[in-house]
């Protein structure tokens, strides 16, 4: 009788683990290269994951950007200015999605449909359903989402 209980419990536990895994990633939006390769995800709560689904940081609702050790590494201000951990301006995302570096040079653009472009206007990826500011930090500033 004891063996039967163990055999029934293991599949139930496995099913629960599968359901929890699915639920934890369903609120995540994909970050993809233009080849459609998955390179990361940003969850609706701001958790940033790399292509291996490892948490590498978080973007908080107040704009604070944290690394995997929960240290503040930057901030996105409400006007689109992006600052590093020393409060230096390192870039900006404008209301039309244009991404600029600290010297005000255009380094990319996040289109309204989530298409990510480089400074030559070539498509380098996509971030559909992700806030432009969050996509800009992932592709251009803080997170090495390719690993």
Domain ranges of the chain: 28-141
The whole-angstrom separation of Cα 131 and Cα 117 is 15
Q: What percent of the chain has pLDDT over 90?
A: 65
77-123 per-position pLDDT tens digit: 999 999 999 999 999 999 999 999 999 999 999 999 999 999 999 99
**Residue for token digits 């992006």?**
82
Q: What per-residue confidence (pLDDT) applies to 141?
A: 87
Please give the CATH architecture assigned to the domain spanning 28-141. Beta Barrel (2.40)
Q: With the C-alpha atoms ordered 102, 104, 105, 109, is the resulting torsion angle positive or negative?
A: positive
The yes-or-no verdict on residue 41 having pLDDT over 90 is: yes
Closest CA to 32 of 113, 133, 142, 127: 127
Q: What per-residue confidence (pLDDT) applies to 2?
A: 55
Contact of 31 with 125, CB cutoff 8 Å:
yes
Residue 51: pLDDT band by 50, 70, 90 thresholds?
confident
**Residue for token digits 């990633």?**
25
pTM listed for this prediction: 0.75
Mean pLDDT score of the chain = 83
């Amino acid at each position: 009788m004891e063996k039967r209980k163990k055999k029934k419990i293991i599949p139930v536990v496995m099913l629960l683990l599968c359901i929890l895994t699915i639920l934890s990633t369903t609120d995540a939006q994909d970050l993809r290269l233009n080849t459609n390769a998955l390179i990361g995800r940003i969850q609706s709560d701001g958790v940033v994951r790399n292509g291996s689904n490892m948490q590498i940081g978080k973007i908080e609702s107040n704009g604070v950007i944290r690394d995997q050790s929960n240290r503040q590494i930057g901030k996105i201000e409400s006007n689109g200015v992006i600052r590093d951990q020393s409060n230096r301006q390192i870039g900006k995302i404008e209301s039309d999605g244009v991404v600029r570096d600290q010297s005000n040079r255009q380094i990319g653009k996040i289109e309204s449909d989530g298409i990510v472009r480089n400074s030559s206007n070539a498509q380098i990826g996509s971030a559909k359903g992700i806030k432009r500011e969050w996509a800009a930090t992932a592709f251009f500033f803080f997170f090495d989402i390719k690993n």
